[in-house]
Amino acid sequence: MALLNLMANDGGYALELSYYCTVKVHGLICLELKKFIVRISQIFPGIESARPGCKPGIQALCLLHDAMDKAKSIIQECSESSKLYLAITADKVVKRCERIRDALDSCLSQIQNLVPVLLAAKISGIIHDLRSAKFPLISAEDEARGALLVLLRRDINASSTVNNEELEILLLAASKLNITSPVALLIEKRSIKRLLDKVNDTEIKKTKILKYLLYLLRKYTGFINEGTFSQQEGGCSEVTEPELQFEYVRDESQAAEFGGTPQPPDAFKCPFSMSLMYDPVIIASGKTFERIWIERWFNEGNETCPVTHKKLDHLTVTPNSVMKDLISQWCMKCGITVPEPCSQPFPAPHSSPRILRSGSISSFGSYMNDLRLQVSHVSLRSSDSSRGSPLLDDKVGGGSKSGLVQMDAESQNIQCCSFGRENTNAFLSRLEELSWESQCRVVENVKKQLEVEDNHDSDVPTIGNDQIMLLVKFMKNASEISDAKAHRDGVEVLWAILCRNRREIPPFHEDVIHVLAPYLGSEIAEKVLEIMEVLSREKYFKSVMLASGTLPSILEALETRIRKLHSLALKVVCNLSTHNDTGYHMVYLDCIPKLVQLLGDRTLALYSIKILKNLSQNGEARIAVAESIECLDAIDRLLENGTKVEQENAVDVLLYLCHGCPEYIQLVKRESIIESLASIYANGNSRGKEISRELIQLLDTITDDNTSHCQIANAEIPSGSAKKSSTKAFRFLAKKMPVFSKPFS
């Protein structure tokens, strides 16, 4: 389950969905709403700090709050309501979303001219995206909706006999909406009952629909529980859509085919509004901006570059005709038009900046090679100049000239190549800006690109922390809308990132554990455990894993028949067992017997004995290990037959048990154990000799007569036989190894 918590990072306006929820239906709609809620929440502190104190400003701010609450309400309904009813009323949900979108647009447009220019530019970008926002339905949900509406129009009378039409449509809808198990069916019935409890007496039509849906579910419960979905499963199979190559222009131009809006390169966006530039101009720092925003910036008295924050030599702006031509090309390829900036008219500037005739762009060459655009026919002239641009003059700097000329020469090869590694970060950085289908394709292609790089190139760039956070958010969204393939691709990208950063694990948000945990029982459990094994080496994530309740799910992997999962799960538990709180969890989960059983498995014994060693150092786990006769028997056998490393860890376990507790010494003093210790002392390495000698000394110095009162429950063992066997064992040591015939110094 994922917690939707949409709050401004700086503690301003907070719109929190403080319940654990998974969006049941209309996942794409909720993701679109969530995107705008997050963006607007982030600028709320700035809006309130600007104090738009006039009456229209206050009214707009109040209406903005109201629209945000309505957006939150839709997400909550899609998380708690009936799947069948949500599917039937999908058109109403879309209309509500469109009204919320229009309300947000109206409120932000009123606020825009009442705040500083930087904030106004951000608002402009949000307004632009709002006006192009779509609220698509998932095809399976739309199919279920159509079938259910047909059934409602039939108005079939209630009957105790099976109606084939009712049954067929219900099974189809249940299959499309994933109501295919007894648990899912029970949840759906309860959701409908809750809606019926809340419905008003005046909502006759809604009441009738809900009662009919509940009647259908009760009548055909047996058919759903029997899993009669063979015919429908074919319709629910995953549709393989044409693969999008990770070549820039092609990806963006085709994104719309899959429900997404093509997103321009960052170089085409104004740094103020982050929207596609309509009239790009260059300032003295070489940075390009939307004319309306940079002129307003200067008109407010600023003399610095908004990006570099350095004082400018002059405040003149130059039309960037090259950039404008490139943007026009991109728009033609993608089939879109460049919108005018979303802004109200501004007062005439006090002093219009001079328009230079130069078309130079100092920052242009740095990103040209990343764009898959033909530039051979692009005019390199200023819009008001009849002369050739100095861009082609040698004195301007060879970098720009060579970059543009080379771009034309290599354009054919570049367009045929897949997305290069230098753009991996760029695409992940733009993940939230894309539609869900486009996000899925970006992640899928990043996965393929990382696989290629890992196989052919050891010198690969590092994925940044910001990109990792966006990837984790993508995985959370995939979980919320139950998109298993998207989640699997995200997990594989995450694993690839970890593989290339083994020396220094990048910081992850703790949400990554909550996102991964539900998939420990799925087909991607192996990859999830591999990621957890790496993260569990870090002290911080040990605490997170224990606090999140992930340990039981990890231990469940030991009950499967997949051997690979056994070793991975034990590696994770071994890492976690060094944490002080792990012992408590292992005891109440009754894991000690399972570990004892695994001591007899040659491939898993080492991890098991290491875990027992860590658990034996403190607390309740030490008591559980010491008082388990089966555990001591298994350790006894391991001392005799295990590898040297296993034997040393077994001796460590016994040392931890015996230190400070004579009663445990009595449990350990066995002839077979002492003989194994003598063998380790004689044949082991330096550490084996040291710890075996220490344990033998400890066993020899404590007798049955001076057993202290350990603050633990006594284990039932025949003390007479223990005394007899241990005495015999020490006589054996005295004969075989003279060093033990004298008291230890």
Of 13-27, 262-276, 404-418, 631-645, which range is least confident?
A: 404-418
Query: Model confidence at 507, in pLDDT bands (50, 70, 90)?
Result: low
Q: Single out the residue of 702, 704, 697, 703 nearest to residue 742, CA to CA.
A: 697
- The share of the chain scoring above pLDDT 70, in percent, equals 70
Position 502 in a domain: no
CA distance 484 to 497: 20
Span 105-128, pLDDT tens digits:
989 988 888 888 888 888 888 888
Do 337 and 391 reside in the same domain of the chain? yes
Determine the average pLDDT of the residues in 23-36. 87
Do 57 and 166 reside in the same domain of the chain? no
Position 243 in a domain: no
* Statement: residue 245 has pLDDT above 60: no
**What pLDDT is stored for residue 412 in this prediction?**
32
Domain residue limits at 115: 2-131
Most confident option among 67-71, 503-507, 695-699: 67-71
**What pLDDT is stored for residue 739 in this prediction?**
47
**What pLDDT is stored for residue 328 in this prediction?**
83
List Cα–Cα distances, 489 to 24, 440, 482, 523, 719, in angstroms: 21, 8, 13, 12, 60
Q: Are 28 and 21 in contact (CB under 8 A)?
A: no
Determine the average pLDDT of the residues in 139-166. 85
The helix or strand, by DSSP H or E, that contains position 281, with its residue range, turns out to be strand 280-282
Do 161 and 229 reside in the same domain of the chain? yes
Position 512 in a domain: no
Determine the average pLDDT of the residues in 305-309. 86
**What pLDDT is stored for residue 92 in this prediction?**
92
Q: Which two tokens stand for residue 604?
A: 């898993």
Span 59-71, pLDDT tens digits:
888 888 899 999 9
Q: Mean pLDDT for the chain?
A: 73
Higher pLDDT, 96 or 459: 96
Which of the listed residues 107, 131, 155 is the one where a domain comes to its end? 131
Do 144 and 118 reside in the same domain of the chain? no
Q: Single out the residue of 95, 60, 88, 59 nearest to residue 74, CA to CA.
A: 95
Q: What is the CATH number of the domain that holds 336?
A: 3.30.40.10
Span 77-94, pLDDT tens digits:
898 889 999 999 999 999
Q: Are 205 and 85 in contact (CB under 8 A)?
A: no
Q: Are 432 and 261 in contact (CB under 8 A)?
A: no
**What pLDDT is stored for residue 70 in this prediction?**
92
Span 591-602, pLDDT tens digits:
888 888 888 888
Q: Which of 568-602 are b and which e, b meaning 16 or more Cβ less than 10 Å from the residue's Cβ? A: bbbbbbbbbbbbeebbebbbeeebbeebbebbeee
* Statement: residue 450 has pLDDT above 70: yes
How crowded is residue 120: how many other Cβ atoms within 10 Å of its Cβ?
24
Which residues does 252 contact at the CB level (< 8 Å), separation at least 6? 262, 263, 264, 330, 333, 334
* Statement: residue 399 has pLDDT above 60: no
Do 378 and 312 reside in the same domain of the chain? yes
Most confident option among 266-270, 630-634, 716-720: 630-634
Do 164 and 287 reside in the same domain of the chain? no
Which residues does 314 contact at the CB level (< 8 Å), separation at least 6? 284
Overall residue count recorded for the chain in this entry: 745
List Cα–Cα distances, 399 to 287, 366, 404, in angstroms: 17, 9, 9
CA distance 259 to 136: 7
Region label for 482, one of left (φ > 0), alpha (ψ between -120 and 50) or beta (otherwise): left
Query: Model confidence at 369, in pLDDT bands (50, 70, 90)?
Result: very low
CA distance 156 to 166: 8
Higher pLDDT, 560 or 606: 606
In terms of C-beta density within 10 A (0-12 exposed, 13-18 middle, 19 or more buried), how is residue 672 classed?
A: middle
Do 331 and 380 reside in the same domain of the chain? yes
Query: Model confidence at 346, in pLDDT bands (50, 70, 90)?
Result: very low
DSSP for 602-651?
TTTHHHHHHHHHHHTTSHHHHHHHHT-HHHHHHHHHHHHHS-HHHHHHHH
Is residue 41 classed as helix, strand or coil in its secondary structure?
Answer: helix
List Cα–Cα distances, 421 to 185, 365, 454, in angstroms: 46, 19, 11
Q: Single out the residue of 83, 225, 222 nearest to residue 140, CA to CA.
A: 83
Span 47-63, pLDDT tens digits:
877 776 677 788 888 88
Do 65 and 26 reside in the same domain of the chain? yes
CA distance 669 to 692: 13
Which residues does 358 contact at the CB level (< 8 Å), separation at least 6? 318, 382, 389, 390
Position 478 in a domain: no
Q: Read off φ and ψ for residue 193, nearest 5 degrees.
A: -60, -40
CA distance 528 to 512: 11
Query: Model confidence at 363, in pLDDT bands (50, 70, 90)?
Result: very low
* Statement: residue 35 has pLDDT above 60: yes
CA distance 296 to 120: 10
Do 737 and 647 reside in the same domain of the chain? yes
**What pLDDT is stored for residue 122 in this prediction?**
85
In terms of C-beta density within 10 A (0-12 exposed, 13-18 middle, 19 or more buried), how is residue 227 classed?
A: exposed
**What pLDDT is stored for residue 398 in this prediction?**
38
Determine the average pLDDT of the residues in 151-169. 83
* Statement: residue 429 has pLDDT above 80: no
Do 190 and 151 reside in the same domain of the chain? yes
Q: State the chain's maximal CA–CA distance in angstroms.
A: 111
* Statement: residue 649 has pLDDT above 50: yes
Q: Which two tokens stand for residue 360?
A: 């130079």
Residue with tokens 């004298």: 742
Which of the listed residues 217, 236, 255 is the one where a domain comes to its end? 236
Q: Which two tokens stand for residue 25?
A: 């239906």
CA distance 273 to 288: 12
Q: Are 207 and 257 in contact (CB under 8 A)?
A: no
Which residues does 453 contact at the CB level (< 8 Å), separation at least 6? 421, 460
Position 442 in a domain: no
DSSP for 316-357?
-BEE-HHHHHHHHHHHHHHT--PPPPS-PPPPPPSSPPPBP-
Position 473 in a domain: no
Structural domain tally of the chain?
4
* Statement: residue 248 has pLDDT above 60: no
Of 171-185, 222-236, 304-318, which range is least confident?
A: 222-236
Higher pLDDT, 535 or 731: 535
Higher pLDDT, 274 or 410: 274
* Statement: residue 678 has pLDDT above 80: yes
Position 450 in a domain: no
Position 55 in a domain: yes
Q: What is the CATH number of the domain that holds 702?
A: 1.25.10.10
Do 90 and 170 reside in the same domain of the chain? no
Q: Single out the residue of 405, 434, 417, 101 nearest to residue 259, CA to CA.
A: 434
Amino acid at 516: L
Of 108-122, 186-200, 639-653, 690-704, which range is least confident?
A: 690-704
Torsion angle of C-alpha atoms 229, 230, 236, 238, degrees rounded to 10: 140
Do 735 and 610 reside in the same domain of the chain? yes
Which residue(s) pair with 5 in the sheet?
16
Which residues does 193 contact at the CB level (< 8 Å), separation at least 6? 214
Q: Which two tokens stand for residue 13?
A: 């306006």
How much is the pTM?
A: 0.47
Which of the listed residues 131, 155, 189 is the one where a domain comes to its end? 131
